[in-house]
Structure 1
Amino acid sequence: MTAVADAAALRPLSLAEVNALASLTLRSCRKYVVPARLLPVLVDHLAHDFGVLCEEGRTAFRYSSTYFDTPDLVTFRQHRQQRRRRFKIRTRSYLDSGLTMLEVKLKGARGVTDKRRTPHDGRPDELTPAAARFLGEVLYDYGAAVPRPLTAVAVTDYQRTTLVALSGTERITCDTGLVCWHAGQEVRMRDDVVLLEVKTRRGITATERLLHCHGVRAVSFSKYAAAIAVVNPVMGANRWSRVLRSCFSGY
């Protein structure tokens, strides 16, 4: 997408530099559905204080996430109900490097997200014995039981560009081309919007204030929840209806 390609004008940063500056595995996250036409304005605003993840000349990378849930979608329902303590289980494949990680995203106190991850030793849609042990340890520490039975229920593919404050205080991901698969159906995000997420340990950032000036406000959005809700409107996705309409044509 041309708008995200403008990020190539920022200072290039390697993955090691990005992780050293702002790994932010424990952070507050706020999400925005941004018109693609605003991305050049945003990049210009960030030009002096941010870099962009760049590997072998690329600044946009292909991701694929496979989400695990029970047959009755217990983790989806916990998210829909805004449970104070909830979690998501997924494998994330970095398609350009061939690396797959198992990740558990835990919702903590005051809405802080704690992401735990480990290299995955199986197919993206399977939980190996090592994966099951890791999952059990993480959820035990969190004070929760592993939902059973767990199976792969949804897949999301997209391209991501990552912008990082050189101060290490902020990380911005810009996702485009989102495709969701669930229950044998496929849905695609509109081409004229970008899913932007601000990750920080601080309050509202200057980036977010700029978005607010352009009438863009934070939304409640989850790629996993979107994959389930767009295919299954009867799942009680009313609280997401407005944002889903802005992302998916025909919803």
Structure 2
Amino acid sequence: MTSTLDHLDHLGPISLAELDARASLQTRVDRKYVVPADALGPLLRQIHPGARVLQIGADREFAYESVYFDTPELTSYLGAARRRRRRFKVRTRTYVDSRQSWVEVKTRGPRGATVKTRMPHDPDQRGALTPESLLFADSVLELAAIPGMGGAPFLPTLVSRYRRVTLHLPGDSRTTIDTGLVWADPASGADLDLRGVAIIESKTGSTPSSTDRLLWRHGLRPVRISKYGTGMAALHPELPATPWRRVLDRHVQGGHVQGGHVTAITPTA
């Protein structure tokens, strides 16, 4: 089976320290694209030749696991589904290979920019928020003027697992390529394996990156896809899902839960 890295082996490496120094982008504009797996190789071979691949030790591809937390009323999910201005996400993000974990709170900044604030978290506790993590989340949400969230109970509502390759682009932007995405419901054990597609994400300042322009030249346009929102909508079709309906219908059509698991999915486009 061809790996994402097979199409990027001509690119030089960049260390995590240099990547963070040059393109930390905790406040950024994200553009996301869903790419059929059979189109990924030809696209990646046209990535800007000055791009460099994040490399830690001998590894260039890394396993990620995110656990998303929400209130019993799904305040975070419904805020995104209904496009509320002051929406947010709370999650733990674990870099599985290095066993580093963070609790992260994502809010909306000026002009729709994503603002991510985080603190270290115990990887063995990534499925729960510790008292310290809850205090941290409360403080970030209060600072972002998210109303009514002080002391709110947060429960795990979705687990997202995938493999990621990260590129640094000239101009100090990032591109990530995610493959092997699996969404799982921590309560029921239902899961969904999203085969046949990759998610490419451009993380820039206000100016589009060379990756954006490459994808546009090939007729690919940014789509509304959220690993939390789209995953929840796919596993819970009774929820409102207007922002992600096009992605669900076009790329996740045909997946259905059977005996606590979702059958393999073939993208429709």
User: What TM bracket, shorter-length normalisation?
Assistant: over 0.9
Q: For residues 56-95 of structure 1, what are the structure 2 equivalents within 5 Å?
A: 56-95=57-96
Instruction: Single out whichever of 241-250 and 146-155 deviates more from structure 2.
Output: 241-250
Measured against aligned partners, the alpha-carbon deviations of 1:130-172 in whole angstroms (never above 9, x if no partner) come to: 112211221121112346221111100000110111431x101
- Among candidates 177, 183, 188, match of residue 180 of structure 1: 183
Does structure 2 conserve the Cα–Cα contact (< 8 Å) formed by 1:100 and 1:120?
Answer: yes
* Alpha-carbon distance in structure 1 between the residues aligned to 2:68 and 2:12: 33
Q: One-letter code of the match for 1:2? A: T
Pairwise CA RMSD: 1.7
1:106: Cα distance to partner?
0.7
* Alpha-carbon distance in structure 2 between the residues aligned to 1:21 and 1:42: 25
Task: Say whether 1:189 aligns with 2:191.
Answer: no
Does structure 1 conserve the Cα–Cα contact (< 8 Å) formed by 2:54 and 2:168?
Answer: yes
Measured against aligned partners, the alpha-carbon deviations of 1:151-196 in whole angstroms (never above 9, x if no partner) come to: 111100000110111431x101111111111242101112x21101
Q: For residues 15-94 of structure 1, what are the structure 2 equivalents within 5 Å?
A: 15-94=16-95
**Where does residue 126 of structure 1 map in the other structure?**
128
**Where does residue 259 of structure 2 map in the other structure?**
none
1:47: Cα distance to partner?
4.4
**Where does residue 217 of structure 1 map in the other structure?**
221
Does structure 2 conserve the Cα–Cα contact (< 8 Å) formed by 1:116 and 1:138?
Answer: yes
CA gap 1:15/1:82 in 2 versus in 1, 3 angstroms: same
**Where does residue 228 of structure 1 map in the other structure?**
232
* Alpha-carbon distance in structure 2 between the residues aligned to 1:4 and 1:127: 33
SS in structure 1 of the partner of residue 9 of structure 2: helix
**Where does residue 247 of structure 1 map in the other structure?**
251
Q: One-letter code of the match for 2:183? A: C
Runs of 4+ in 1 over 4 A off after TM superposition: none
Identity, in percent, stands at 41
> Higher helix share goes to which structure?
1
Q: One-letter code of the match for 2:229? A: A
1:15: Cα distance to partner?
0.9
Compute the TM-score of the two structures, normalised by the length of structure 1: 0.93
CA gap 1:68/1:47 in 2 versus in 1, 3 angstroms: same
- Among candidates 234, 237, 241, match of residue 237 of structure 1: 241
SS in structure 1 of the partner of residue 8 of structure 2: helix
- Among candidates 131, 134, 142, match of residue 140 of structure 1: 142
Does structure 1 conserve the Cα–Cα contact (< 8 Å) formed by 2:138 and 2:151?
Answer: no
Question: Where does structure 1 lack aligned partners over 5 or more consecutive residues?
Answer: none
Measured against aligned partners, the alpha-carbon deviations of 1:35-64 in whole angstroms (never above 9, x if no partner) come to: 223333333332422101112222110000
* Alpha-carbon distance in structure 2 between the residues aligned to 1:246 and 1:147: 39
1:202: Cα distance to partner?
2.4
Q: How many aligned residue pairs are there?
A: 249
1:236: Cα distance to partner?
1.5
CA gap 1:111/1:147 in 2 versus in 1, 3 angstroms: farther
* Alpha-carbon distance in structure 1 between the residues aligned to 2:66 and 2:24: 19
Q: One-letter code of the match for 2:199? A: L
